[in-house]
Amino acid sequence: METDRPDIVKVVEDGVRIYRKNPILALPHVLSTILVLAFTAALLASAAFLAGYVKAMLDADDMGNAMLISIAGIIGIIILLLLGWIIIPSFFQAAAIKMSDSAIAGVRVDHHMAFSPDRERAIDLVMANIVVFIATFIITLVFIVLNIVLRAELGIFLAGGMGLSLMFYPYSIVLNGRGMISAMKEGFQVFWRNRLLIGILWIFIYNIGMVISSLSFIVVFLLMGASALAYLLVGGFSLFGLEAKFLAIGFGFGGFFAITIFTSAFVISPLKMLWETYMYRRLRFGQTD
């Protein structure tokens, strides 16, 4: 199983080169982000509808039913929200890994691949992601308690270490056809045998994401400055339903939100997946093409 170890600089450079040749690799990430946002918006809208319904019940002094519907509604929406946030990205994750793998192997990738994940693999990935989410949730709680009791800062490092050790199970499921438990075992083995290399890759991915996000905020600041300047030069006008004097604030809040999602879907997520796929292929199969 152990193969020659790749140079991390080459992994990063090759990943960027492959992405520049195949920008379509961003498609599954963009689709996933749009669908998750739409799903979240729909659930928030239904929560608002439910709130109106509960208010009408309270107005009619029907306290018992109002309480019951509120509790059931909140629990239902949280469960649906969590399931949606796990299931939707999992299907696109399976397609994205396959696309990245093909691009690394030099095979032409097109947009059809984003909509046709291997059904069996995608379902395995959904199940694995749900299990990992629950495990992470419980372990994070334990770490938080440990942090409070010990007053130590170890929790975040232990949680980070756990995240690292689970980095490769999606690749093992999609690219190696393993089942959930077997993929987790294999992913952990790949991590443990190359922990220094993977640790460095994780440090790079984590920090480069922060650098790209903060650099993209420059655009937001320029938009804010331009809108304030336009207000000074032109005076009263409105854009996107916002009065000129509130435009800078709108660009500020909206811009930070939009740019974070944009850079994540178009730059950070596709590159992260390419680098991880590349690393998995090299460490597991010893070749990239």
Partner 1 sequence: MAKQIESLIPEGLNILKKSPELLIVSFLDSCLQIFLIFFWMMIALAGTIFLSAALMAAQAPNALIAVIVVSAVLGYLVLSFGISAFFQGALIGGASIAAQGKKPSFSRLVERGKASFFDLLLASVILFAASLLLFVLIMPAVLFAVMKDIPLAVAAGSFAMAVLMLGSTVIWLAFSPVYYIIVLGRFGVPDCFRKSIDFVKANLVAVLLLTFATTMLQSIIYAPFTVITGPIRWLDIAAEGVGSGIAGVLTLVFFGITLMISKTLSAIWWVLYVKDAGGFPDDELEEEDESGEVIDDVIVEV
At closest approach, how far in Å is the CB of 5 from partner 1?
7
Q: In this complex, which beta carbon is closest to partner 1, that of residue 38 or of residue 148?
A: 148
Measured from the CB atom, is 121 or 281 closer to partner 1?
281
Alpha helices in the chain (DSSP H): 8-21, 27-59, 63-104, 119-150, 154-165, 169-176, 180-193, 195-234, 244-263, 269-285
Q: Which two tokens stand for residue 66?
A: 């109002």
Nearer of residues 211 and 240 to partner 1, judged by Cβ: 211
Q: What CA–CA distance (Å, rounded) separates 21 from 24? A: 9
Least Å distance, CB 158 to partner 1, is 9
Whether 236 and 60 have beta carbons less than 8 Å apart is answered as no
Q: Which of 142, 232 has the CB closer to partner 1? A: 232
Between 63-104 and 269-285, two packed helices, what is the crossing angle to 10 degrees? 60
Nearer to partner 1, 7 or 120 (CB): 7
DSSP letters spanning 26-73: GHHHHHHHHHHHHHHHHHHHHHHHHHHHHHHHHHTT-HHHHHHHHHHH
Quote the least distance from Cβ 208 to partner 1, whole Å.
Answer: 7
Q: Find the shortest distance in angstroms from Cβ 12 to partner 1.
A: 5
Beta carbons of 270 and 25 less than 8 angstroms apart:
yes
For the packed helices 195-234 and 244-263, what is the interaxial angle rounded to 10 degrees? 160
| Closest distance of CB 225 from partner 1, Å | 3
- Which residue, 19 or 91, is less far from partner 1 as judged by CB? 19
Q: Is 91 exposed, middle or buried (0-12, 13-18, 19+ CB in 10 A)?
A: buried
Which positions touch partner 1 (CB under 8 A)?
5, 7-9, 12-13, 150-154, 157, 196-197, 200, 203-204, 206-208, 211, 214-215, 217-218, 221-222, 224-225, 228-229, 231-232, 245, 248
Instruction: Work out how close the CB of 164 gets to partner 1 at its nearest, in angstroms, rounded to a whole number.
Output: 13
Q: CB of residue 191 vs partner 1: minimum separation in angstroms? A: 14
Beta-bridge mates of residue 242: 239
**Which residue's CB is nearer to partner 1, number 42 or number 249?**
249
